Structure formats: C-alpha cells, structure tokens
Structure 1
Amino acid sequence: MNLLTHTLSSLWQVVLVGLIFGAGLPALFALGMRSLASGGSGENARPTPLGTTGAVVCFAVVLIAIIAGILLLTADFLSSSFGITLF
C-alpha cells in the first residue's frame, strides 16, 4: 500500500508539471498575443495600454520559465565547469 501511495504522489506531481510547462506556457503566450490584439481590428488598430501591459507580463513569465528551464538543465555543467551553483 505504501508503494501505491508513493507512486500516486509522484504521478500527480509529474502530471502537474507537465500541464504547466506542456500546455500552460503556450496558453500563456497565446493569452499575451490575444491581449495585444485587444485594440480591435483594422489597419490602424492599436492595443490598449492595459492589453500591452498584460502582454508584457505574459511574455515575461514565459521568458523567465524558459530561462529557468535551461539553467536547470545545465546546472551540473555550470557547477562543474565554472563553479556557479544556481539551484
């Protein structure tokens, strides 16, 4: 029973991380693109200031997540080669 509980505990963590990074970041990027298009349609349509702010926040979160993922993957290399310990 302990093995089953431990396996289910690990499984929901993997599924949660997969949903966040697998579907959450592209959805957040799409939300940022949608907020840039909030000014309407047409040739001279401009995004509203609130839409621009929302897009910048969405894009910043996606960019930070990408950089953190790259740094997490290269943490051992950075630690052994340059002595930089990040995580």
Structure 2
Amino acid sequence: MDLLTDTVNSLWQVVLVGLLFGAGLPAIFALGLKSLSVGAEPGTDGPPSAAGKLGAVACFAVVLIAITAGILMLMQDFLASSFSIHVF
C-alpha cells in the first residue's frame, strides 16, 4: 500500500509541474498579450489603457521570473562548484 501512496503522491506533483510549465506559462504569456489590447478601440491599433499595460507587465514578469528560476535551478550545481554561488 505504501508503494501506491508514494506513486500517487509523486504523480500529482509531476502533473502539477507539467501543467504549470507545459501549459501555464504560455497561457499567462497569451493573457499578457491579450491585456495589451484592453482599452483600445475595436478594429484599430490604438494604445492600450493603463490597466492593460499594468496587467501585461504583471503577466510578463511572472513568466520571466519562472524562466529565470528554472534556469537557475538547472544550473545550481554548476554555479555552486565553479563560482561558489549558492542560489537555492
């Protein structure tokens, strides 16, 4: 029974990370692009509203932070052994 509970516990973690990085980040990026059109006149290339710009900046910041954290997690052993930088 312990094997089953360990497997299910690991499975939900893998599914959660897969959804976050596999579909979540592109969806947040698309939401940021969509928020740039908030406040513009339909059918025109007008400037976005201040709320649209703020939403886009927030979405893009989340994506950038997630990408940077992922790269740093992959490089943490290299950074620690080569430069004595301990990120996490």
Q: Please tell me the TM-score bracket, short chain as reference.
A: over 0.9
Unmatched 5+ stretches in structure 1 = none
TM-score scaled to structure 2, two decimals? 0.94
Unmatched 5+ stretches in structure 2 = none
- How many percent identity over aligned positions? 64
Q: Distance in 2 between matches of 1:2 and 1:73?
A: 30
Q: Structure 1 runs of 4+ off > 3 angstroms?
A: none
1:26 aligns with 2:26: yes
Q: Distance in 2 between matches of 1:37 and 1:53?
A: 12
Q: SS at the partner of 1:80?
A: helix
TM-score scaled to structure 1, two decimals? 0.95
Q: Distance in 2 between matches of 1:42 and 1:86?
A: 46
The number of residue pairs the alignment matches comes to 86
Shift of 1:68: 0.4
Shift of 1:12: 0.3
* Cα deviation code 1:6-52 (max 9, x no counterpart): 00000000000100111000000000000001123314x11010000
Q: Distance in 2 between matches of 1:59 and 1:31?
A: 9
Q: SS at the partner of 1:63?
A: helix
Q: SS at the partner of 2:36?
A: helix
Structure 1 vs Structure 2 CA RMSD: 0.8
Higher helix share: 1
